[in-house]
Amino acid sequence: MLHCIDQSSAVGCRVNKKHFIDETTEVDVAQSPLNASVETSTAVPENTMHQALLIANKCTLAFEMFTQSVINYTRCTLDHARPVRVCTQCGVAHLIFEGTYENLKKHQEDCESFLGSFQMEIFDMMYKRGKEMWDTLNCQNCYDYPFETVRFLKASSTFLDCIRIPETVEIISMRSLCKRCPTEFKNMSSMYKRFVHRKKSSVGAICMDIVDRMNYTHSLYSLYNCVDPFGDSLEFWNYLTAVGILGFTLPGYLMSRFTHHLAHIKFTRCGKLVTRFTKRTTRSIEQLKKKGYHVITVTKSELFGMRNH
């Protein structure tokens, strides 16, 4: 029996811990594709035959239920692969997939004699692939915080409805369009930040359905040229501080790089002492000599020593 917060999205669903098959379950073995594995003979004692039929009933039904759950779960993931809605739309299918596999493993010892060990290995492989996909998408995060998930999805739908371009409008200013929904966007961003905060304080990652919706929203906002220049992760004062630090350090760094390549030249003309800074290049020195300057190359310490005197 399923209990869901949101029946449409299956968010917050829970399954009662109840076996899918009990000892009294009856299955028509004659119509089962696996009935060939059950050998009956008049020479077999009645108790043994009855036990074999019970095993056949349990294993046949467990096999059929798990196989059908794999089909339904796989179909659901394909239908909701783009945009990514696997976690929120395939929750029920995943719960049934998990439950039927647990039921099959519960009777593994008996079913191996009925189905064969190779078939059981195939079931294990199918389950592993399905579980890996669920874990890769971090779907459990949506169900660990069902109320937050539902609120975020509602906020996302509200924003997308707000920013959607009316079909009756032929020409519309993108800039004016994005200004229509600042409250809805901030509300959605605030909901998303809760998932980011929970991620930092716990193990795991954010549900892929949530991430995909937020990425789509940002790309849509960017398309309309509505992107907040300061983003969601860094506040205005963080940017201002970074710019201030850069403003103080960059000039000093550039000055040190510039003075490193300067040579200190002292030259005289007509008895007047003049001190200048120029690049140490052969071309510059030759030009000074042609103009009648007497060029003397000195070190930095010598130059400042001359100034002090």
pLDDT at residue 236 greater than cutoff 70 = no
pLDDT at residue 97 greater than cutoff 90 = yes
pLDDT at residue 186 greater than cutoff 80 = yes
Tell me what pLDDT residue 279 has. 46
Tell me what pLDDT residue 94 has. 96
pTM over 0.85: no
pLDDT at residue 138 greater than cutoff 70 = yes
CA distance 13 to 5: 7
- Could you identify the residue written with the tokens 């930092």? 200
Mean per-residue pLDDT, 24-51:
44
Mean per-residue pLDDT, 185-209:
79
Mean per-residue pLDDT, 274-286:
53
Tell me what pLDDT residue 180 has. 74
| Chain center to CA of 242 | 28
State pLDDT tens for residues 205-219.
Answer: 889 999 999 988 888
Summary mean pLDDT of the chain: 68
Decide the pairing of beta strands 294-298 and 262-269. antiparallel
Asked whether the beta carbons of 206 and 199 are under 8 A apart, the reply is: yes
Long-range contact set of residues 24-33: C-beta below 8 Å, sequence gap at least 24: 25/57, 25/58, 25/61, 26/57, 27/56, 27/57, 27/60, 27/61, 29/53, 29/56, 29/57, 29/60, 32/56, 32/60
